[in-house]
Structure 1
Amino acid sequence: MKVSVVLPAKNEAEGLRRTLPALAATLPGAEVIVVDDGSTDDTAAVAASLGARVLSAPYSMGNGAAIKRGARAATGEVIVFMDADGQHDPALIPQLLARLEAGFDMVVGARDGSGQASVGRGLANRLYNRLASWMTNHEVKDLTSGFRAVRADKFREFLHLLPNGFSYPTTSTMAFFRSAYAVAYLPIKAAQRVGKSHIRPLRDGLRFLVIIFKIATLYAPLKLFLPASAVFFLLGCANYAWTFLHTGRLTNMSTLLWSAAVIVFLIGLISEQITALTYRRDA
């Protein structure tokens, strides 16, 4: 099967000098696409000089946007996504491909604790993994890893769902689980990146929190809305018990909490139906 390798790159000239030669040695016949996301250094020139096909954007559109552009341009039956900063070892790609040949539709390189950029991001990723595992009823070992191999036709089904920012691994993984496509994990060790990370903890902290809720609403909204509805209902019951014992009457607060429980439940029910329509292949 023909393999395309897509590397989103923003100011990653130094990383590409290390990654592309190793990639050519591992997969000499593969199509290599470097998506230059508005770099201000010589990323595009370095990639072209090392034999990669370069797709350049006039300005930065985001990591997810680069992934989508690369996926549309790839001609292989299988697409391998990896970072251009030297964190991912091209020598591991044959192991990813072997798992695809065994019948899986997506194989993700799952990092251990040493592969996380910082303690804070490591804790956040563990939180994401636990939430995703609860949502899917499958063990999710690394929800945010950008090193993965996918069947191209299946991955393209979900391009309209992928954000332009940094959460494309999260969205694509949950989409594959939702559509009953088989997902496997390959344990890997990620090296330290070359250069400076584009993620800003303070700026991106709130955005990553939103991703948690996006995971829930993207995959199974009722698993988020039903517990919230139950909390409102129980609070209404508790408030009614308290006011009845002390004043012998039903207050507006209990009624308001029960109304909120019904509204939240109905929103969850509607969201569940919308999610089902989102994953229809003919939608």
Structure 2
Amino acid sequence: MNSPNNLLAFVMRRPAALAGIVLLALQIAAIIFAPLLATHSPVEADPINSLQPPSLAHWFGTDVSGMDIYSRILFATRVNLLISISAVAIAFAIGVPIGLLIGYYRGTVSSLVMRVFDFIQSFPVFVLGMALVSVMGQEIWNVAIVLAVLFIPMFARLIRAEVLSLRERPFISAARCSGATDRSIMFRHILPNALTPAIVQISISIGMAILLTAGLSFIGAGVRMPTPEWGLMVSIGAQQMILGVWWVSLFPGLAIVISVLCFALLGDAAKDLSDPTTRGRQ
């Protein structure tokens, strides 16, 4: 399954995986070519054209400040994916080594670290996110760091569970008998075999991070105006829904749905790809 031809055949047999790749390609195109694809500035207000419905001049209409919604959605793709991917990357880079260490070295320190993770995960996500963002400030990188803090226990627990199982396997005992050091056993024998669940979780976590980023911005604890961000755009439009101005919230809301669906589909595909029994039935 490692060859390009087998990977292509695997994707082509799964319409959902192919749809996820197409949606990801569209988002990458929006990130790279946003300045070329945008028809207006994403941050310049035009009060004269406030709350204009979709038209040839403004494909997705305008918001209460007269900013073009289509252009803001394109540039918001950069912001939302930058925050989400950065948060998950930080959480993965920190959570995996922690999970490896507390799974291999069992004792007081490992138990203490697990209790810290329990404490973090006992808080409602939005409450903890709001508290951390209010302390650190409503900046893009601060939101990414806050989300990373929320995701680190998830990756650490996944790796720890795998390590606890692997460390008792016969091949680990054989490595110890051959004189391998703890460091060699952890990074050469255990970690490569324990990474699969965490790698599959990456795609799912990015989708979760997109929802959390949008949710924090929606309640006013995330990115601030005039930065284009999907949740913030939905929040602004929600105030106009009762007046029949549906387009301000609808289009950024659809952008959130499409992006989260994309990474959910890719996560399912990665899970199937990593499962030999699933591949064997195809």
**TM-score range for the pair, normalised by the shorter chain length:** under 0.3
TM-score (norm 1): 0.27
Higher relative contact order (CA closer than 8 Å, sequence separation 6+): 2
